[in-house]
Structure 1
Amino acid sequence: MNVNEQLFLAINNLSLLNIGILNVFCVFVTLYSPYLYAILLVVTYLLNHKNQALNAFYIALIGLFVNYTIGLFYYHPRPFVEGLGNLLIQHAENSSFPSNHATLAFAVSFGFWYSKEKLLSIASFVFALITGFTRVFVGVHFPFDIIGSFFVAIVALVLFNAFRAYFEVLSRFLIKLQVKIFKSVGLKV
């Protein structure tokens, strides 16, 4: 048994303790974290932190595109496909590396590093760590999948910074478009 499998079992076996609130919390986070991040981005945007929300969105999109590209060339079975651990949710038997949920979480948190709201940046990073932990806890990812996602999010951040000028042009266009749409339907901008 390799280190990745040993770490997986150490974390996933915590679910066998049947601590109800912990199991429910981990299942909730693992299932709904993408929606929570989407809500966070929308709320951040609407609270007039438009550029921070858009930057985080772009970094997340880049990260998920990198994940997709990796998936075209590399397959790694999920723990339950290998007969390991305790599975708390149903999941497709697609590649486990890297985790889309964790990549999204880390990428959004990196996007908030540009924010003046440091508490938001720190809180979103802590929630990204929690999201990664829950993916292992519920039995759908190995720890190295989560670590890989962290590095994919860093790559996404680097790519974003390399093309930042283009993203700034896109952001200005999208913000102007949003203002125009809101005004046309009588909403306050």
Structure 2
Amino acid sequence: MDLNILIWIHQHLVFEQLNGFFIFITNLWGDGILTVLLTLFLLIKKETRLTGLVIAVSLLFNLLVVNLTLKPLVARPRPYTLYEIDMLLPVQTDFSFPSGHSSSVFAFVWAYFITRKDRMRWIFVTFALLVCFSRLYLFVHYPTDVLAGIIIGILCAYFSRWLVFRFTNTTWMHKLLE
């Protein structure tokens, strides 16, 4: 079923005019530079430091859960290994489940979303959804990989917020956040 959904997306929603856009979106998030710069920017500014800290912790938990635990444990092959397709991206060297792009973008975006109440959070959610769709569009993940990634990213964000807020009551944490 997963592969059938992915094939349907490829046959009905992939257009040559959009290829460059989705390659750009997936690479913009995938190389990690944007993630680091945005997190550092939030950590530097006093009024967003707590959000930056929640995001940093969320991304760390996401890395541990997804890249170091679930991907090697599940070891699901990428969809293009089972269905011949002209790839728009280089062959990925890691496993498919769960989607690291989807989980990390939601670990970041949802941590921002639950700690800030500004309009920017909706722009971030839109961007996150585009990143997730790009993984399907580019045929490097199954829909369940992306869905699992979104769920894991959101759970990492909530856990990180709980953890950071729990320890922000300590004196040393207050000094760190000032």
Task: Specify the TM-score bucket, using the shorter chain as the normaliser.
Answer: 0.7 to 0.9
Give the counterpart letter for 1:97 in structure 2: F
In structure 1, list runs of 5 or more residues that go unmatched: 177-189
State the number of aligned residues: 171
Task: Percent identity, please.
Answer: 21
Report the CA distance between 1:162 and its aligned residue. 4.6
Larger Rg: 1
State which of 16, 19, 22 in structure 2 corresponds to 1:18.
16
Distance 1:52 1:86, change over 3 A: same
Asked if 1 retains the 8 angstrom alpha-carbon contact of 2:111 and 2:161, the reply is no
State which of 1, 4, 24 in structure 2 corresponds to 1:28.
24
In structure 2, list runs of 5 or more residues that go unmatched: none
For 1:142, the equivalent position in structure 2 comes to 142
- For 1:168 and 1:147, the matched residues in 2 are separated by 34
Relative to the length of structure 2, the TM-score reads 0.83
Report the CA distance between 1:83 and its aligned residue. 2.6
- 1:47-66 per-position Cα deviation (integer Å, ceiling 9, x unaligned): 43111111112112112211
Report the CA distance between 1:116 and its aligned residue. 3.4
Cα-Cα RMSD? 2.3
- For 1:29 and 1:168, the matched residues in 2 are separated by 38
Relative to the length of structure 1, the TM-score reads 0.78
For 1:39, the equivalent position in structure 2 comes to 37
For 2:128, the equivalent position in structure 1 comes to 128
Distance 1:173 1:71, change over 3 A: farther
Distance 1:81 1:175, change over 3 A: same
Report the CA distance between 1:39 and its aligned residue. 2.3
Asked if 1 retains the 8 angstrom alpha-carbon contact of 2:78 and 2:95, the reply is yes
Report the CA distance between 1:131 and its aligned residue. 0.3
